[in-house]
A and B are shown apart, each in its own frame.
Chain A
Amino acid sequence: MKRRKPGFLQLSSWLGFAFLYAPIISLIVYSFNASKLVTVWGGFSLKWYSALLDNEQIIDAAIVSLKVAVISASLAVVLGTLAGFCLSRFGRFRGRMALSGMITAPLVMPEVITGLSLLLLFVALEGSFGWPAGRGITTVIIAHVTFCMAYVAVVVQSRLATLDESLEEAAMDLGAKPWTLFFLVTLPLISPALISGWLLSFTLSLDDLVIASFVSGPGNSTLPMVIFSKVRLGVTPEINALATLMILVVAVSVLGATWQLRRQSRSVRSNA
């Protein structure tokens, strides 16, 4: 096919890629612009980066966001792995319907609804039991764990589906108890899924604006909330600098993780 219609197909694909990358590239370029007017090139400058580092509001919010993202990604991996494992390896058990229905629902729920419903739950809980007292990092973490564990469960399930079950069966034949089997055989085998599930949860948590806006309390603004309030007022070069840094970190870690996973899957294959 390629030899028949190279023109149209390739042209439209490259157009698609240009569409994906042009705004990101312009962000990076203008983060080094000396002029405050975003479109006028005033020469190369790093001043927006130093302005960014001096901006305490952004730094504080970044620390809050990183804390929330690390904790909720870790919790989401634990709960999501449990859910994914139960659903793909337990066969029929009591409560299976409930779990399988609830685990995918967060994936299709509009963020505004998830955010509103969790906030109202927290308010109701606080009114009845006195917990959680006020809203802050804890409530944001609970909210993020809830929607991230759904993604982790899906990743873990798809990994378990492609896994060679004879390895687990062999371990059972050799007398491994269920817990030994899980920790010594299944868990190492699905570790790539755990890593990508963690990274996915980390990114989703770091990126979430809508849900965090509902459930976070005063003084605990996450980075997206601060960015959103600044960006609403217009384009600011400082945010360009921040975006460039974030894109850099993401690009490096995604490339690193891909490389790591490739190496791992290669060694798994050669060991098997």
Chain B
Amino acid sequence: MNRRTSAFIPAATGAVSGLWRQALHGLSARLQPGKTLVASIPTFWLALFFLIPFVVVFKISLAEPAIAVPPYTALFEWDADLALASLQLNLGNYLFLFEDSLYLEAYLNSIKVAAISTFITLLLAYPMAYMIARSSPSNRVILLSLVILPFWTSFLLRVYAWMGFLKKNGVVNELLLSMGLIDEPLIMLQTDFAIYIGIIYTYLPFMVLPLYSTLEKLDISLLEAAEDLGCKPMQRFFLVTLPLSLPGMLAGCLLVFIPALGEYVIPALLGGSDTLMIGRVLWDEFFLNRDWPRASAVAILMLLFLVMPIMLLRNAQGRREERT
């Protein structure tokens, strides 16, 4: 990766590729207690504000909703007559999630939307990354900053820009009408189409950057060898370039797929009210229904079935990269 730009795209590239390529050397073996002390500061912060919260979520997912502040029942109750503490666990929240098909549909639909938009993003990003990697070094810097610049502007405002674009009397419809391609405005806003557009648009840079960094490193002599051995351009692309860019493709796909799964803002602004996505279900359960225990149960299942498999996959990929 280009040195000048590498500082700006850490989130995209650093997060997945070559993460734990750390050297196994210490400053000095004598400093062990001091090291532990220094390391304990960030560790303590993350334990308190990242790890323990999940324990709290799990606890509340077993409580019952109540009209109170905060709106759930306590798990432990002190019985004054018997002088006994009783533990009340309520699995009803989880059972309900399996009984009502709405939740399962929302999970499946989130996976479908995330998978399709990741695939389209890949198709769109590949030629861009390829062109940037093959252009002259000075052009490369400019094109790369053009890809990164939108990432620095407000995500919310960029999604909002699409509302003005896609609505009934929006830019796209006006353009198509004036060109005589359509007779009446298309309904695009508040459809699944708009959600796909929003996700692809938002996460396109996340796909271009890792693809670019693998394509840039690709050894040209391999392509020349393939050509000498009689490969046609198309064959050469599918037999040499594509397989060699697989790590970048995988990294980019994860960077798009993961946030798309839990997306709330894009379906809320661009999608219709009938679009079920799990991030939105959790939000509505919490803010509209004020059912904190059920929202917690949704979060726990999301962690178990969506986040955990992805983290395991990522770790496996990281280890494979370390080995090569």
Q: B128 contacts A13, CB within 8 Å? A: yes
A250 touches B153 (CB 8 A): yes
Return chain A residues, CB-CB under 8 Å to B50.
102, 105-106, 114, 146
The answer to whether A108 and B124 have CB atoms under 8 Å apart is: no
Partner of A231, one of B39, B167, B264, B269: B269
Does B84 interact with chain A (Cβ within 8 Å)?
Answer: no
In the complex, are the beta carbons of A254 and B149 less than 8 A apart? yes
Q: Please state if B156 and A207 are interface contacts (CB–CB under 8 Å).
A: yes
Please give me the residue from chain B that is nearest to A79 by CB atom: B42
Interface stretch of the complex, out of B5-13, B87-95, B243-251 = B5-13
- CB closest chain-B residue, reference A152: B10
Contact residues, A108-127 vs B (CB, 8 A): 108-114, 116-118, 120-121, 123-124, 127
* Interface residue A235 (Cβ < 8 Å from any Cβ of B): yes
Q: Which of A24, A108, A111, A161 contacts B153 (CB 8 A)?
A: A24
- B261 close to chain A: CB less than 8 A: yes
Q: Is A100 within 8 A of B262, CB to CB? A: no
Interface SS majority for chain A: helix
Interface residues of A in 146-174 (CB under 8 A from B): 146, 149, 151, 153-155, 157-159, 161, 165, 168, 172
Instruction: Report the minimal beta-carbon distance from A34 to chain B, rounded to whole angstroms.
Output: 16
B204 interface residue (CB < 8 Å to A): yes
**List of A residues within 8 angstroms of B113 by Cβ:** none
Kindly supply a per-residue 1/0 record for chain A positions 230-244, scoring 1 wherever the CB is within 8 Å of any chain B CB and 0 otherwise. Answer: 011011000110110
User: How distant is the Cα of A251 from the Cα of B153 in the complex, in angstroms?
Assistant: 8
Q: Which of A37, A38, A142 has the most CB of B within 10 A?
A: A38
Number of A-B pairs, beta carbon distance below 8 Å: 310
In the bound assembly, the distance between CA atoms of A111 and B31 in angstroms comes to: 38
Q: Flag if A181 contacts B27 (CB, 8 Å).
A: yes
With both chains docked as a complex, state the minimum distance between the C-beta of A225 and any C-beta of chain B, in angstroms: 10
Q: Is the CB of A86 within 8 A of B39?
A: yes
In whole Å, how far is B262's beta carbon from the nearest beta carbon of chain A? 2
A263 CB to closest chain B CB (Å) equals 10
**Residue B180 is within 8 A (CB to CB) of chain A in the complex:** no
A183 at the interface (CB under 8 A from B): no
Q: How far is the CA of A1 from the CA of B233 in the complex (A)?
A: 8
A129 CB–B CB distance under 8 Å: no
| A-contact 0/1 string along B161-186, CB 8 Å cutoff | 11111010111001000000000000
**B187 within 8 Å of A by Cβ?**
no
Q: How far is the CA of A96 from the CA of B149 in the complex (A)?
A: 35
* Complex interface residues of chain A between 7 and 33 (CB less than 8 A to chain B): 8-10, 12-13, 15-17, 19-24, 26-27, 30
Interface positions, chain B 128-161, Cβ under 8 Å from A, are 128, 130-132, 134-135, 145-150, 152-158, 160-161
CA–CA, A19 and B150, complex, Å: 11
> Is A107 interfacial (CB 8 A cutoff)?
yes
Question: Range of interface residues on chain B?
Answer: 35 or more
* Complex CA–CA separation, A99 to B170 (angstroms): 49
Contact present for B233 and A93 (CB under 8 Å): no
B11 touches A247 (CB 8 A): no
* Interface members, chain A 217-269 (any B CB < 8 Å): 224, 227-228, 231-232, 234-235, 239-240, 242-243, 246-247, 250-251, 254, 258, 261-262, 265
The B contact surface, by secondary structure, is helix
Give the docked Cα–Cα distance between A86 and B22 (Å): 10
A53 interfacial contact with B, CB 8 Å: no
* A203 contacts B by Cβ under 8 Å: yes
Given contacts A1-B134, A193-B7, A250-B153, contact A112 B170 (CB under 8 A): no
A192 touches B7 (CB 8 A): yes
- A91 located at the interface, meaning its Cβ lies under 8 Å from any Cβ of chain B in the complex: yes
A-B contact pairs, 10 of them (CB 8 A): A39-B169, A79-B41, A103-B46, A105-B50, A172-B28, A178-B28, A178-B34, A231-B269, A234-B163, A242-B157
* A-B pairs with lowest CB-CB distance, top 10: A110-B262, A117-B53, A23-B161, A91-B26, A83-B42, A155-B10, A12-B127, A121-B53, A102-B46, A196-B7
B contact residues vs A (CB 8 Å cutoff):
3-4, 6-8, 10-11, 14-15, 18-28, 31-32, 34-36, 38-43, 45-47, 49-54, 56-57, 60, 70, 124-125, 127-128, 130-132, 134-135, 145-150, 152-158, 160-165, 167, 169-171, 174, 201, 204-205, 208, 223, 233, 258-259, 261-262, 264-265, 268-269, 279, 282-283, 286-287, 292, 295-296, 299, 302-303, 306-307, 310-311, 314
Known pairs A16-B208, A99-B46, A103-B46. 20 more at Cβ < 8 A? Answer: A8-B127, A13-B131, A16-B204, A26-B171, A83-B39, A83-B46, A99-B39, A104-B19, A105-B50, A108-B310, A112-B264, A121-B56, A157-B19, A157-B22, A158-B10, A207-B155, A224-B156, A232-B268, A258-B4, A265-B3
Interface on A for B, CB 8 Å cutoff? 1-2, 4-5, 8-10, 12-13, 15-17, 19-24, 26-27, 30, 37-39, 79-80, 82-83, 86-96, 98-100, 102-114, 116-118, 120-121, 123-124, 127, 142-143, 145-146, 149, 151, 153-155, 157-159, 161, 165, 168, 172, 178, 181, 192-193, 195-197, 200, 203, 206-207, 209-210, 213-214, 224, 227-228, 231-232, 234-235, 239-240, 242-243, 246-247, 250-251, 254, 258, 261-262, 265
